[in-house]
């Protein structure tokens, strides 16, 4: 299961440290006094009161400032790069994880957006002469190629509080059954990055877990071509103000992603930390009033809505299981997937097809599967194919057996620390079936028609089912229908990477080129 949440206190943890580091970098490259007073209001437009204590400057403490002293005022705004919005990975792991426990497949990683920070820089000089000297100095530095700069920024971002709650619950579960003898702190320290630490406010409130980070190669540039804006005055008798804007482009950590399984050491995770995948979105669930023309249009579109939204590609048991088989056999499609919970008293037991937690199999199909028991775990030896998966991938064939009493049992005892799944699939290319498998399917005519109807899906309108003779199909009828199904599919659709059949209506080529701009960045 993958979730993502915003990082807490981004303004204080990221934006403000980056802005202050940039201002200090500007003071250095502009040759200004590094001890000059910098006023940086927060969101409440308040600034810290400098010089509130009278302490000697010689001891390295800031001096008391007066209204006539030179000062720097900055305002900061940020915008994300819209051109990179669609390429930002949210559910994928673009950045290395800051926490990763490979034993139970739990990881946390940052999510970045390319951000442009604009710093409005106002320098209040003690005199017009000082302000003009400052502008002349900037002009010379521009001539030396200082208009664009590469700098290093440091900041830290917080781990979302929801993630800490989930990690704490997972730690309790992993220690309750076949545990490792780790406390929560030991677990975090063992599998977290060295940059992961804890922080709080100066008053010791709002504790949070943060990750320190240094970003090199951030690009900054001035907004003027040769010199800053003309000088201005605060009022008729006030000091001179010189101002400009400085831009900084960097990757800002705005969210964190987290991946964790729905089962920890044979225990299902709490319902508030999981989702339901067998409840598809539907249209028209609420009553509504429409115009006469719209109601006529709904008469035609309602069937399309139902076809798109009333079923899922396969049934998940339980419904909150988000597992998808990564490695599947050619020309197979998922029928049902099962999350398996190991029985402590009988670690060889997988499941009973008559007890599927609220789901029932069609009686004709179930009766047909009685005779398929010896072949159902052998690829192409039955129209149905079952595979046992662990956390790595498929377990070898014949790892389990299908009993006449509808029980599925393994050959070796299951491990309490491992998460297992059973995939029940159907062979979508009937021509790939072995001859004995074809004969058994034809002999069970009613079950065969129901299986063919499921394989055809929405193609039943164009591909009417064959007729039974004395309750059976002939092999020629079966092969003819299988060839018709294959003809309706795209040439490469038989190789299923996610267990779903794929139908296409066209092939398209997209050609793109980068637009030339004069923007710096």
Among 364, 380, 346, 321, CA closest to 451: 364
Rounded CA separation 12/162 (Å) = 19
Take residue 471 and report the two structure tokens written for it: 């309750």
pTM as predicted: 0.73
Q: Which residue has the tokens 């309108």?
A: 461
- Rg of the Cα atoms in the chain: 33
Take residue 363 and report the two structure tokens written for it: 């009686």
CA angle 472, 473, 476 (to 5 degrees): 155
What stretches of 200-244 show up as alpha helix (H) in DSSP? Answer: none
Q: Give the torsion through C-alpha atoms of 164, 169, 172, 173, to 10 deg.
A: -130
Take residue 283 and report the two structure tokens written for it: 């249209």
Q: Exposed/middle/buried for 202, CB within 10 Å: 0-12, 13-18, 19+?
A: exposed
Rounded CA separation 244/226 (Å) = 12
Q: What are the DSSP calls for 429-482, one per residue?
A: -GGGS-HHHHHHHHHSHHHHHHHHHHHHGGGGGTSPPPPPBTTB--HHHHHHHH
Is 90 exceeded by the pLDDT of residue 310? no
User: When comparing pLDDT for 249 and 200, which is higher?
Assistant: 249
For 343-362, b where at least 16 C-beta lie within 10 A, e where not — what string?
eeeeebbbbebeeeeeeebe
Take residue 243 and report the two structure tokens written for it: 């101002």
Q: Exposed/middle/buried for 504, CB within 10 Å: 0-12, 13-18, 19+?
A: exposed
Among 374, 329, 178, 173, CA closest to 260: 173
User: When comparing pLDDT for 425 and 122, which is higher?
Assistant: 425
Over residues 256-267, mean pLDDT: 93
Is 50 exceeded by the pLDDT of residue 502? no
Rounded CA separation 75/284 (Å) = 49
How many residues make up the chain in this entry? 521
Between helix 363-371 and helix 445-456 the angle, nearest 10°, is: 110
The predicted pLDDT at position 492 comes to: 38
The predicted pLDDT at position 2 comes to: 87
Is 90 exceeded by the pLDDT of residue 150? no
**pLDDT by residue (tens digit) across 504-521?**
455 555 656 665 544 443
Helix, strand or coil, per DSSP, at residue 15:
helix
Q: Give the torsion through C-alpha atoms of 24, 29, 35, 40, to 10 deg.
A: -40
Lowest mean pLDDT among 210-219, 321-330, 408-417: 321-330
The predicted pLDDT at position 149 comes to: 82
The predicted pLDDT at position 515 comes to: 57
User: When comparing pLDDT for 233 and 179, which is higher?
Assistant: 179
Report the percentage of the chain scoring pLDDT > 70.
72
Is 60 exceeded by the pLDDT of residue 66? no
pLDDT grade for 203, boundaries at 50, 70 and 90? low
The predicted pLDDT at position 63 comes to: 43
The predicted pLDDT at position 95 comes to: 87
């Amino acid at each position: 299961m993958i979730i993502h949440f915003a990082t807490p206190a981004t303004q204080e943890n990221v934006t403000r440290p980056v802005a202050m580091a940039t201002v200090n970098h500007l003071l250095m490259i502009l040759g200004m006094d590094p001890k000059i007073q910098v006023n940086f209001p927060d969101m409440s437009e308040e600034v810290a009161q400098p010089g509130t204590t009278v302490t000697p400057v010689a001891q390295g403490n800031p001096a008391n400032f007066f209204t006539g002293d030179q000062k720097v005022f900055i305002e900061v705004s940020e915008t994300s790069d819209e051109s990179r919005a669609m390429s930002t990975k949210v559910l994928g792991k673009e950045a290395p994880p800051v926490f990763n426990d490979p034993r139970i497949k739990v990881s946390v990683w940052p999510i970045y957006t390319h951000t442009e920070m604009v710093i409005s820089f106002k320098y209040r000089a003690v005199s017009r002469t000082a302000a003009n000297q400052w502008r002349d100095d900037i002009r010379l530095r521009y001539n030396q190629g200082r208009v664009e700069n590469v700098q290093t920024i440091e900041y830290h971002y917080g781990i979302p509080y929801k993630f800490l709650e989930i990690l704490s619950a997972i730690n309790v579960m992993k220690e309750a059954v076949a545990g490792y003898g780790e406390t929560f702190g030991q677990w975090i320290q063992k599998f977290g990055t060295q940059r992961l630490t804890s922080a709080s406010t100066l008053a010791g409130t709002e504790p949070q877990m943060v990750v320190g980070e240094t970003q090199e190669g951030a690009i900054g540039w001035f907004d003027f071509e040769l010199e800053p804006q003309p000088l201005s005055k605060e009022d008729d008798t006030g000091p001179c103000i010189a101002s400009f804007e400085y831009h900084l482009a960097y990757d800002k950590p705005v969210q964190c992603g987290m991946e964790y399984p729905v089962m920890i050491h044979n225990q299902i995770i709490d319902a508030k930390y999981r989702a339901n995948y067998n409840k598809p979105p539907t249209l028209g669930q609420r009553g509504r009033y429409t115009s006469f023309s719209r109601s006529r249009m709904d008469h035609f579109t309602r069937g399309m809505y139902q076809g798109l939204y009333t079923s899922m590609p396969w049934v998940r048991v339980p419904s909150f299981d988000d597992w998808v088989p990564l490695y599947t056999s050619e020309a197979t499609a998922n029928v049902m997937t099962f999350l398996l919970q190991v029985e402590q008293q009988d670690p060889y037991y997988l499941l009973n097809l008559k007890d599927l937690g609220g789901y029932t199999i069609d009686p004709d199909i179930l009766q047909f599967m009685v005779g398929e028991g010896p072949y159902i775990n052998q690829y192409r030896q039955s129209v149905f194919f079952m595979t046992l998966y662990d956390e790595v991938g498929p377990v070898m064939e014949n790892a389990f057996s299908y009993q006449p009493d509808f029980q599925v049992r393994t050959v070796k005892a299951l491990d309490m620390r491992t998460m297992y799944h059973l995939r029940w699939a159907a062979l979508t290319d009937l021509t790939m079936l072995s001859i004995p498998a074809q004969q058994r399917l034809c002999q069970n005519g009613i079950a065969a028609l129901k299986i063919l109807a499921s394989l055809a899906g929405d193609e039943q309108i164009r591909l009417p089912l064959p007729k039974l003779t004395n309750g059976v199909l002939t092999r020629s009828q079966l092969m003819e229908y299988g060839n018709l199904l294959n003809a309706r599919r795209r040439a490469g659709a038989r190789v299923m990477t996610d267990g779903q059949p794929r139908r296409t209506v066209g092939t398209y080529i997209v050609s793109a080129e980068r637009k030339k701009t004069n923007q710096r960045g």
